[in-house]
Structure 1
Amino acid sequence: MTRQEATHAQRIPLNRDRVLRAAVVLADAIGIEALSMRRLAQELDVVPMALYKHVANKEELLDGMADAVVGEVDPPAAGPDWQRVVRDRILSARRALLRHPWAARVIESRTGPTPAVLAYLDSMAGTFRGGGLSADLTHHVMHAMGSRLLGFSQELFDTSASAASAGPPDPALAAAYPHIAELASTAAHDGGTTPNGGCDDQFEFEFALDLLLNGFETLRREGWTSTRTP
């Protein structure tokens, strides 16, 4: 970059969008734990107080960063196959979160859904309703999908490298938890998206997603309702 170009870049006015985009890039580079208002100000070559004209505090910055990541999710495609529309959109959300590994924790840590998250969830509910699911069923579907709607899920098992390379389960643990030991010894660990032979996280994610979507379609065809008769 020439001196003239650098001078021009420095004259680009600071705004909320620029602050949030810079924060996302910085968090990708150094991790969310290392991100601070001071560090972000250094990255933007401004004094820290300049940031507070656009975000009131660190929590508002994190809210905006969450919205910026959710904004990367593809819009819903047109078409009558609601399952395909939902599946593709959730996998788009997952790709966005894989690009920004810190984002899932930030979204989970918010005390309430941010505007972009609310808009995304609202559009997903609209897709379910447009696919013929009743409002009642859609309500329960949204609960069942949970964080998976946003492209991540809470996993039951530790698939870190240390766990994956630990070898056969301890005999005492295997005796106490025989079914877990059975799963550990019979599961196909062929690499996938997890290094060192851990569970294939992408496969497990898509398997559960497809299972849920197929189940929702079955309930829709059956005219399922949560109303209970005595």
Structure 2
Amino acid sequence: MGKLTARSIVERALEVGDGEGIEAVTIRRLATDLGVTPMALYWHFKNKEQLLIGIADHLIGGFAPKPADDRPWQVQLRDLTEGLVRTLRTHPCARLVLEQIDPSTVPNFLVVWDRALGLARTAGFSVEESCLITKYLLQSVIAIADAPVRRHTEPDWDSRVRTKRAGLQSLPPDTYPYLVEMAAPLVEGMPPELYDTFGVDLVLSGIETLAARRG
């Protein structure tokens, strides 16, 4: 193989994480896959924590937010949010990677985070509110990008869906009319496109409504 680089290591780590779960990503496993000794990887990543930070940086680096411009803050924040959702949806292991690292240690995340904070301030929110907005926004992005993909990669998905759907549909309709009516979409999930669009709309509409009250 060619020269070993940090990029080649994290790209292989993502392949393993997406296919087998992030717990399968180890220095020894990657060294074997890449045809090198573990020591060769330690030149780039001292330990598993540093490797996860590198993976997260690569993930976020795949999303290049547009430079700040004269468009309304609402439009720019939507671009930021939708771009992150698209990027994270590409990799089923992304949620677990982000949950195991401190985002403040990820250079590319700091760029996106600072941009989101600036947009919140432009919208008229206080320093404290802007911090909360970006925190909730990141959590929402991870949930939106992860849920439909993660469900379909779980073992025995079809069997468990049938059982859950039958359980809801067997409830007394006079007592739980809407659970019975909506049993299928509740347990089967939504098309990713609808899930993403509605989820982003729901989150951003709340931010925009709060901002309008300050106008």
TM value normalised by structure 2: 0.75
Counterparts in 2 of 1:178-197, with a 5 A limit?
182-183=178-179, 185-186=181-182, 189=185
* RMSD between aligned residues: 3.2
SS class of match (1:221):
helix
In the other structure, the counterpart of 2:105 is 114
Runs of 4+ in 1 over 6 A off after TM superposition: none
Picking from 54, 76, 83, the partner of 1:85 is 76
User: In percent, how many aligned pairs have the same letter?
Assistant: 29
In the other structure, the counterpart of 2:158 is 161
Provide the C-alpha distance between the structure 2 equivalents of 1:208 and 1:102, rounded to a whole number of angstroms.
Answer: 20
Counterparts in 2 of 1:22-171, with a 5 A limit?
22-76=12-66, 78-111=69-102, 113-115=104-106, 116-150=108-142, 152=144, 160-166=157-163, 167-169=165-167
CA offset at residue 150 of structure 1? 4.7
Change (3 A) 1:187 1:87: farther
CA offset at residue 182 of structure 1? 2.3
Greater radius of gyration (CA): 1
CA offset at residue 138 of structure 1? 1.8
Please list the CA deviations of residues 59-98 of structure 1 after superposition, one character each: whole Å capped at 9, or x if unmatched.
2111111111111123135442222222222222122222
Larger CA deviation: 77-86 vs 41-50:
77-86
Q: Which amino acid aligns with 2:18?
A: D
Could you tell me whether the CA contact under 8 Å between 2:88 and 2:146 is conserved in 1?
no
Counterparts in 2 of 1:184-223, with a 5 A limit?
185-186=181-182, 189=185, 198-200=188-190, 202=192, 203-223=194-214
CA offset at residue 112 of structure 1? 5.4
Change (3 A) 1:130 1:148: same
TM value normalised by structure 1: 0.71
Q: Determine which structure has greater relative contact order: mean sequence separation of CA pairs < 8 Å that are 6+ residues apart, divided by chain length.
A: 2
